[in-house]
Amino acid sequence: MAGANMSGDLKDPRRAIPLGTLGAIGVTLVIYIGLAYLCAYYISPEVLRGNQMAMVDSARWEGLVIMGILAATFSSALGSMVGAPRVLQALAEQKTVPFDNFFAVKSENNEPRNAIIFTGGFILVSILAGNLDALASLITMFFLITYGTLNLVVFIQQSMKIISFRPTFKVPRFVSLVGALSCVFIMFLINPIFSVVALITIIILYIWLTRKGLRSEWGDIRGGMFLVLAERAARLAAKFPRHQISWKPDLLIPIPDPQVWAGSLLLIRSITYPSGSIFAFTVQDRNIDETEAYLRELLQPLSQQSIAVNATVIEEHEYILGTRLVIQTLKNGALRPNALFLTLEENAEHDAVIEALNHHAVRYNMGVIILNQHPRAAFGIQKDVNLWLRDGSPNWHLAMLIALQIQSNWEGRLNLITVASTKAEKRQANRFLERLSDQARLPSMTEFYVLEGEFKQVTETAPRADINIFGLASQLSFDFMRSVPQQVRSSCLFIGDSGQESALV
């Protein structure tokens, strides 16, 4: 490690370090193996196990052996004295240690003076305060962690099979994997307690450095590693059919104008958190960069909530055509959205656009969620959810799942509401709600309401809620969707199934 520690002072470190390291390992290997055979030949196993000075006691010239031991000790100490300050100074230059401005300073002759003083003092205090054998075990742990981490990084980059990884010194992939695993095994073989302490220390350092948000000039393989894993997982996922049991809310959100969008980020967060995702886009044919900046700024609060958010600008003049292209492009992906989220505006100017987008979503097996936000009540105190159901209607699975998502995030009450015209229908509706609650495993904070009469009459007697959810008819009724929020005095969602969801699994 001494040569590697001084790599910044070498003329050609790329060539010198491999040659020097392999040469040192080769010479050391010959010496160690030779000594092992000599000791096994001249000294009994019992003496070797019980006497650390067995070689000295068995030597013809004891003084020469002691001189050799001292020379090896002084050589290692000198290597550490020369290398350790340079490692500390190099880390300080990259802002990866505390007091980096102090330790990064070099003297006029290019010596890391401050780092030398600190490491020398630290070593002196450690020697005076502790047992050398115990310190040796602890230091060995960190050396093994260094070797193991290097092998692990090489193995990861070899496994990623990226073209940018072109080492001048190549090794088979199994060598780096065996090297990493062997380091961990030897650590616990030497001292399990120190191994755990060393690993915990390294993990704490990693977390601390990650939170500092450092940027290195030589790159970072973490993003690429997780991207490769995600791509491989996506390829595997594409081989299996999507099942209703693994459904989660993955919303596709077209935004006409990010600067004046009327959608609610709070509601979108309540629908998608914690496992859902968002793919938002806008269709523009000018000011692309500026629009994209507005779009990302608009969605930043959702990204900060640990929700997977993707955003882009589609360069196209025709809004409906651009949206259709997005739906067509994403429909066969492994991470494709499963519901189209639209916002109903106060005037009827964009009704034709919503109707066209609803048609395309149904055609490509996507659910549809249309929000009509109450101008004053908005989402109230974000507690209670009303879900309006009709016995015999097939269009309620997605509405139920969305209601459960919102109720879970709002930690409020879920009200199942249905309307009956007669007392006989009322008894049947009660049985329907009870059966549905049992089959759908609804939360304990669920209440049933069967309202007798016509819909327009019963809305005034319905329980107050912060949002009301209705099924979406195959033929959109914009007059109905605009009038209902005023009747129920809250924002409303109108939801249509895609046929790929089930609230009963």
Whether the per-residue pLDDT at 372 is higher than 80: the answer is: yes
Q: How many residues does the chain have?
A: 505
**Res 44: pLDDT:** 86
3-state secondary structure of 471: strand
In a domain, 91, yes or no: no
- Rounded-to-integer distance, Cα 480 and Cα 498, Å: 21
Whether the per-residue pLDDT at 284 is higher than 70: the answer is: yes
Phi/psi of residue 414, nearest 5 degrees: -105, 120
Query: Which of the pair, 233 or 355, is modelled with greater confidence?
Result: 355
- Same domain membership, residue 249 and residue 347: yes
- Same domain membership, residue 268 and residue 415: yes
- Rounded-to-integer distance, Cα 2 and Cα 16, Å: 12
- Rounded-to-integer distance, Cα 198 and Cα 200, Å: 6
Whether the per-residue pLDDT at 385 is higher than 90: the answer is: yes
Query: Which of the pair, 267 or 285, is modelled with greater confidence?
Result: 267
**Res 449: pLDDT:** 92
- Same domain membership, residue 216 and residue 275: no
**Res 348: pLDDT:** 84
Helix axes 319-330, 351-363, angle to 10 degrees: 20
**Per-residue pLDDT tens over the stretch 65-102:** 889 888 888 887 787 778 888 888 888 888 888 888 89
In a domain, 451, yes or no: yes
**Res 22: pLDDT:** 83
**Per-residue pLDDT tens over the stretch 132-190:** 777 777 788 888 998 999 999 899 888 888 777 778 778 899 999 999 999 999 999 98
CB contact at 8 A, 277 and 250 = yes
In a domain, 60, yes or no: no
**Res 65: pLDDT:** 84
Query: How many whole angstroms from its chain centre is CA 118?
Result: 38
Helix axes 288-303, 265-272, angle to 10 degrees: 60
- Rounded-to-integer distance, Cα 335 and Cα 180, Å: 34
Cβ-based neighbours of 287, under 8 Å, separated by 6 or more: none
In a domain, 186, yes or no: yes
What are the DSSP calls for 419-457, one per residue? EESSHHHHHHHHHHHHHHHHHHT--SSEEEEEEES-HHH
- Same domain membership, residue 365 and residue 293: yes
**Lowest mean pLDDT, pick from 45-49, 251-255, 440-444:** 45-49
- Rounded-to-integer distance, Cα 403 and Cα 210, Å: 37
- Same domain membership, residue 401 and residue 345: yes
Specify the number of domains making up the chain: 2
**Res 224: pLDDT:** 72
Whether the per-residue pLDDT at 359 is higher than 70: the answer is: yes
- Same domain membership, residue 276 and residue 188: no
Q: How confident is the model at residue 428 (pLDDT cuts 50, 70, 90)?
A: confident
- Same domain membership, residue 444 and residue 384: yes
* Residue 492: strand pairing partners: 372, 468
Give the residue from 240, 270, 286 where a domain finishes.
240
Q: Name the amino acid, one letter, at 498.
A: S
- Same domain membership, residue 329 and residue 234: no
Whether the per-residue pLDDT at 42 is higher than 90: the answer is: no
**Per-residue pLDDT tens over the stretch 196-235:** 888 888 888 888 888 877 766 666 677 677 777 777 777 7
- Same domain membership, residue 273 and residue 211: no
- Same domain membership, residue 158 and residue 256: no
Phi/psi of residue 277, nearest 5 degrees: -145, 165
- Same domain membership, residue 404 and residue 390: yes
**Res 8: pLDDT:** 53
- What is the domain-level CATH number for residue 477? 3.40.50.12370
- Rounded-to-integer distance, Cα 265 and Cα 298, Å: 9
Whether the per-residue pLDDT at 124 is higher than 90: the answer is: no
User: What number of CA atoms fall less than 13 Å from residue 493's CA on the CB side?
Assistant: 33
Give the residue from 190, 213, 240 where a domain finishes.
240
In a domain, 120, yes or no: no
421: which 2 tokens?
């015209």
384-403 burial, b if ≥16 CB within 10 A, otherwise e?
A: bbbbbbebeeebbbbbbbbb
**Res 130: pLDDT:** 67
- Same domain membership, residue 256 and residue 231: no
Q: How confident is the model at residue 397 (pLDDT cuts 50, 70, 90)?
A: very high
- Rounded-to-integer distance, Cα 193 and Cα 138, Å: 10
Q: How confident is the model at residue 267 (pLDDT cuts 50, 70, 90)?
A: very high
In a domain, 364, yes or no: yes
**Lowest mean pLDDT, pick from 97-101, 264-268, 362-366:** 97-101
255: which 2 tokens?
């935004």
Cβ-based neighbours of 162, under 8 Å, separated by 6 or more: 224, 228
**Res 485: pLDDT:** 92
Q: How confident is the model at residue 195 (pLDDT cuts 50, 70, 90)?
A: confident
Q: Name the amino acid, one letter, at 154.
A: V
State the average pLDDT for the chain.
86
Cβ-based neighbours of 108, under 8 Å, separated by 6 or more: none
What pTM was computed for the model? 0.71
Percent of the chain with pLDDT over 70: 95
In a domain, 7, yes or no: no
Helix (H) or strand (E) holding 494: strand 491-496
Give the residue from 191, 211, 240 where a domain finishes.
240
- Rounded-to-integer distance, Cα 372 and Cα 472, Å: 13
In a domain, 505, yes or no: no
Look up the domain containing 151 and give its range.
135-240
Whether the per-residue pLDDT at 3 is higher than 80: the answer is: no
Q: Name the amino acid, one letter, at 144.
A: L
Phi/psi of residue 23, nearest 5 degrees: -65, -45
